[in-house]
Amino acid sequence: MSTIFSQIVEGEIPARIVYEDEATAAFLDANPLSPGHTLVVPKAEYEQLDDVPADVAADLYDTIHRLVPVVEEAVDADGTTVAFNNGEAAGQEVPHVHCHIVPRFEGDGGGPIHSMFGQRPDLDDDELDDIAADIESRA
């Protein structure tokens, strides 16, 4: 069973496609958070970011990089929030990697991504050192 985004890419269900190339496609979100809310996907199905091979990741970033200023211009936005919900725990609903380009406007009340989090963890220096060392050793 292919994902809803694969069905869009295949033309099996309608969408307002705004860009496509060999490896990627972009279309308007059906339930936009703001005017111009655009989703960018790899045409091939990968569920999460770490499933995406490096060459496709590069193509995906190229499309994001191309579209961010274009979307901003199209809706006269003051900025954009550009984000992936990566994994169910992060709120990902469609299991096909997609980047949200959400146009932002002065005074739109949306806040930064920091505003999604209530209480922040109280980490001491040792804990931060351990986390940094762990990430560095795996990177």
Q: Cite the active site residues.
A: 98
Of residues 99 and 130, the one with the C-beta less far from ligand 5GP: 99
Of residues 94 and 116, the one with the C-beta less far from ligand 5GP: 94
User: How far is 30 from 23, CA to CA, in rounded Å?
Assistant: 22
State the number of binding residues for ligand 5GP (CB under 6 A). 13
Q: With contacts defined by CB under 6 A, name the span among 58-66, 73-81, 84-92, 115-123 that binds ligand 5GP.
A: 84-92
DSSP secondary structure string for all residues of the chain? ---HHHHHHTTSS---EEEE-SSEEEEE-SS-SSTT-EEEEESS--SSGGGS-HHHHHHHHHHHHHHHHHHHHHHT-SEEEEE---SGGGT--SSS--EEEEEE-TT-----GGGG-SSPP---HHHHHHHHHHHHHH-
Q: What's the one-letter identity of residue 65?
A: H
Q: Does 31 bind ligand 5GP (CB under 6 A)?
A: yes
Of residues 91 and 107, the one with the C-beta less far from ligand 5GP: 91
Q: Which of 30, 113, 131, 132 binds ligand 5GP (CB under 6 A)?
A: 30
Q: Which of 18, 26, 27, 99 binds ligand 5GP (CB under 6 A)?
A: 27
Q: Does 113 bind ligand 5GP (CB under 6 A)?
A: no
Q: Which of 20, 29, 72, 108 binds ligand 5GP (CB under 6 A)?
A: 29
Q: Does 85 bind ligand 5GP (CB under 6 A)?
A: yes
